[in-house]
Amino acid sequence: MKKGKFLFLLAILFFETVRVSAALPAWFPSGTNTEFGGYVKELPFFQFPSDGGETDAFNVVHFRVNTKWYPVDVMSVEAAGRLRLFSGSSLFPDSLFGGEGILSGTDRGYVDLTDAWPSVLFGDIDRANLGFSPGNFIFTLGRQRINWGTNFIWNPNDWYNTYNFLDFDYEERPGADALRIQYFTGATSVAELALQAAKKQRDRTLAAMYRFNIFNYDLQFQGGLSGNDVAAGFSWAGQIGGAGFRGEASFYYPVLDSDEKDEYVKTVAGVSIDYTFPNSLFLHGEALYNRYGTRGDIPFSTNIFSDVSARNLLPSRFGLFAEASYIFTPLLTGSLAASMNPDDFSFYFAPGVQWSVFQNLDFSAVAQLFFGEDRTLYGNSDHLLAFTFRWSFGL
């Protein structure tokens, strides 16, 4: 009896092995069911202190890989991340790399070159998810980009993974650890439910969204629990006289934070308009209202390059933004962006140029110039000049 069971199980194992082996070509990556690409960037930076101090120079080598695999028609596996090598003595304190510490090692040569190239390598994974798409549904679990925003620069409705418009070196934008369920009710309409996981309640979001089109306008409504607040939002995107016209707003009311002093609805809203002329000149402007922001002095500890969220798109109450770009030739584009805080009259300029050198090699240069008094929105930041050489690769 035991021998019969053994032979029966062996036969099942044999036939299963044959069946799985026959399906292996469809499961393993190939040119037809795999997306693979990325780029390598070389970014030398020059920082000019606003107080007239010594100019600093540093460098970033940026390597990124984006992959997506479709083992079967209704399933996808996505993984993407980047490595960045930061170099420059001004980026790190002398106590970290100098002397004969563990990190720096000991230079026993005649000339001590321990501090000649102080560098730190950072790596992060911003996409790691599994997707399943039966019929009109899409289920996505893992780290992913959930973009509910409508505007180009400031997105009050981007509750899950807000990005900072000053970070010109991160076009992919961050991801969120979440379960996302999408149901496409029509060609231009979708209902979504997304649950973001986090260690602390203030970083969690559970919300639903419905987007549809009516009278040539995309309308969106969303609501749920964002951090400690009950939140609601809406947005629109359409055209007026050939110009793109869009906007979005979110409303928050505290329900879980007993220490909240201002127990009233707070609003973050933005409106945007853009127009492209026949000669390729593109103009775009945005305005932001942030009830969480201040109309007074900006604390010195505030860093406008980090800690951005849907409630903290800017530390100021108001924000204005404008940009223009022009395609001089199919390979050369120039741009100019500017932003201002109307309360303290501090402002920011960012001229730039992009040049397609070869098919897979691009060059760009951008300057970030900040002007204003102390404790103003843009007055406490140093000027920055960056050059980018980017080589792209992919299947």
Domains and CATH numbers, the chain: 33-394 (2.40.160.10)
What are 63-88's pLDDT values in tens digits?
Answer: 999 999 999 999 999 999 999 998 87
Q: CB–CB of 149/160 below 8 Å?
A: no
Mean pLDDT across 356-369: 95
| DSSP assigned state of 298 | P
Residue 381 has pLDDT above 70, yes or no: yes
Residue 201, burial from CB neighbour count under 10 angstroms (0-12, 13-18, 19+): exposed
The rounded mean pLDDT for the chain is: 86
Q: Which two tokens stand for residue 222?
A: 């969303």
What's the pLDDT band for 115 if we cut at 50, 70, 90?
low
Mean pLDDT across 156-185: 94
More confident residue, 39 or 301: 39
Phi and psi at 62, nearest 5°, equal -115, 120
Count CB-CB contacts under 10 A for residue 156. 28
Mean pLDDT across 93-122: 59
Which amino acid belongs to residue 90? S
Mean pLDDT across 34-49: 92
What are 211-235's pLDDT values in tens digits?
Answer: 999 999 999 999 999 999 999 999 9
What integer pLDDT is reported at residue 118 of this predicted model? 75
How many Cα atoms sit within 13 Å of 364 on the Cβ side? 17
What integer pLDDT is reported at residue 269 of this predicted model? 98
Element (H, E) at 338: strand 332-340
More confident residue, 87 or 30: 87
Mean pLDDT across 184-194: 95
What integer pLDDT is reported at residue 317 of this predicted model? 95
What integer pLDDT is reported at residue 262 of this predicted model? 63
Enumerate residues 6+ apart whose C-beta is below 8 A from 373: 344, 346, 379
More confident residue, 317 or 55: 317
Enumerate residues 6+ apart whose C-beta is below 8 A from 315: 293, 294, 298, 302, 304, 377
What integer pLDDT is reported at residue 102 of this predicted model? 42
What's the pLDDT band for 58 if we cut at 50, 70, 90?
confident
What integer pLDDT is reported at residue 227 of this predicted model? 92
Q: CB–CB of 353/335 below 8 Å?
A: yes
What's the pLDDT band for 248 if we cut at 50, 70, 90?
very high
Residue 184 has pLDDT above 80, yes or no: yes
The SS3 call for residue 92 is coil
| DSSP assigned state of 25 | H
Q: How many helices, marked H, and strands, marked E, lie in the chain?
A: 2, 18
What are 257-267's pLDDT values in tens digits?
Answer: 756 556 789 99
Element (H, E) at 9: helix 2-27
